[in-house]
Structure 1
Amino acid sequence: MNSASGAAVVVGVDGSEPSLAAVRLAAAEAARRHRPLRVVHALIWPMLRSPITPATDGPPGGGLREQAERLVTAAVDEAEATAPQLAITGEIIDGEPTAVLLGEAPTADLMVLGDQGLGGLAALVVGSVTAQVAAHADCPVLVARGAPRADGPVVVGVDGSALSRRAVEFAVRAAALRGAEVVAAHAYRHPVSTGPGDMRPLVYDESELRADEERTVAEAVAGLAERYPQVPISRESVRGRAAKVLTDASRRAQLLVVGGRGRGELSGLLLGSVSRHVLHHSHCPVAVVRAPR
């Protein structure tokens, strides 16, 4: 995350309704953070399945550029309606969407994307763009999911990794801006064998197992209550699969925060089943936080 005072919240747009939902989310987030908002559209016209043809006296793709200008203008108008006092700029950048968005990330405070798209940002979640941006962006990535709500906690997935700690810190800061509480959620399962030669005990103390898991959550939030005394922080250790635990928790949350990669139930988050499940099924926006390069 870029902490420079001028770093903007960047939102990728394509004119679809999910894209406009991302604009509204991004505008509200920029207003909370006292940051400017930058609206970006990646124009790579051969990839756009559009019947629009260029003007006869214009360059190839000229008609599509005019369409892009209209959709950026509409996105800026949407942002201004959401946060009237916000400083907002819009730009069309020629290039492949992933490359364009990653190029914006080093100077961004936050990147915001819709959960589905059209044209240059097609299939943001089910395709490769969101996965690649979230995996490689030099800033947190926020994906618009579910219906916006002003109540409910900020839920963060905890797994005991260093990156999980970064996700918790992001969640606590986000909660402070929202006047919300934080729920640090940790999923665990019974010890199982992971391969040949990895012998696990047939009998183990359930209370000791739970105590170990609760220590993992306690360590993840250690010291944050002192730094953010205005933010209530609660801890939950839930037996079950992380994908289901986090998705269920998102029903009552206004924001779900996960680390870009983890271990155990959150390992390989971006490329594995947990992230895909959360990004497809979360009932609230999802923020993906990764370690800096």
Structure 2
Amino acid sequence: MLLHLQDADGDAAAADYAFEEALRRGARLRVLHTPAHRHVLPELPSLVPATSPGQERLSRQERADEAVPRFCLAAMRDLHPQVQVVTSTVRSAPAHALLEATRDAAVVVIGTRRTAGRPGPHPGTVGYALLHHSHCPVAVVPAG
């Protein structure tokens, strides 16, 4: 089982579905978190001291990004303690990382959101890539 987690609010229904399905299948749940903010290239470490403001900001952002899946999924883990969960954060090329992860997954779960000015929920660019190129079935769960 594979869950694409982008943010806490929009992906709650997808996380719920993924945990229930992992429990039903007796499978491990792999969670790939792709932060919604723009990815910033880090400063070159050989040219910039490790204590530069840019490096410190990048380090803080990385720690915050890695905490999101643990925080967002804490309640689900409490409800489903028998589901083994492995999380990782992808900072660049989320579609590529998710597509590669689908090679070993039985199913990938993605959430969808409503977009202002457009009818119905939309999976976004990463979701579209998964729908068209995934190596396993894709479960699309609309935000609640």
The runs of 4+ residues in structure 1 deviating greater than 3 Å are: none
Task: Quote the Cα distance in structure 1 between the aligned partners of 2:11 and 2:89.
Answer: 15
Show the counterpart of 1:253.
105
Aligned pairs, number: 125
* Residue 253 of structure 1, CA deviation: 0.6
> Helix, strand or coil: the match of 2:54?
coil
Aligned-pair CA distance for 1:258 = 0.5
Identity of matched residues, %: 31
Q: What residue is the counterpart of 1:160 in the other structure? A: 7
Q: Per-residue deviation at 1:270?
A: 2.7
* Aligned match of 2:24: 177
What's the TM-score once normalised by structure 2's chain length? 0.76
Asked whether the equivalents of residues 4 and 32 of structure 2 are also in contact (C-alpha less than 8 Å), the reply is: yes
Match of 1:286 in 2: 138
1:156 touches 1:182 (CA, 8 Å); kept in 2?
yes
Deviations 1:67-86 (A, max 9, x none): xxxxxxxxxxxxxxxxxxxx
CA separation of 1:271/1:230 partners in 2, compared to 1, >3 Å: closer, same or farther?
closer
Equivalent residue number for residue 122 of structure 2 = 270
Answer whether contact 1:186 1:237 (CA < 8 A) is retained: yes
* TM-score computed with the length of structure 1 as normaliser: 0.39
Q: What is the CA-CA distance between 1:167 and the residue it aligns to?
A: 0.8
Output aligned runs, 1:48-63, within 5 Å: none
In the TM superposition, what whole-angstrom CA distance separates every residue of 1:203-231 from its partner, at most 9, and x where no partner exists? 24333121110111112211222211111
**Partners of 2:12 and 2:97 in 1: CA distance:** 19
Kept in 2: contact 1:158–1:217 (CA 8 A): yes
Q: Please say if 1:203 is aligned against 2:54.
A: yes
Aligned with residue 235 of structure 1, among 87, 93, 108: 87
* Unaligned residue ranges in structure 1 (runs of 5+): 1-153, 193-201, 264-268
In structure 2, relative to structure 1, the CA distance for the partners of 1:239 and 1:291 (3 Å cut) is: closer
Q: Which amino acid aligns with 1:207?
A: S
Structure 2 gap segments, 5+ residues each? 42-52, 116-120
Q: Which has the higher contact order (CA 8 A, sep 6+)?
A: 2
2:34 to 162, 168, 187: 187
Q: One-letter code of the match for 2:39?
A: H
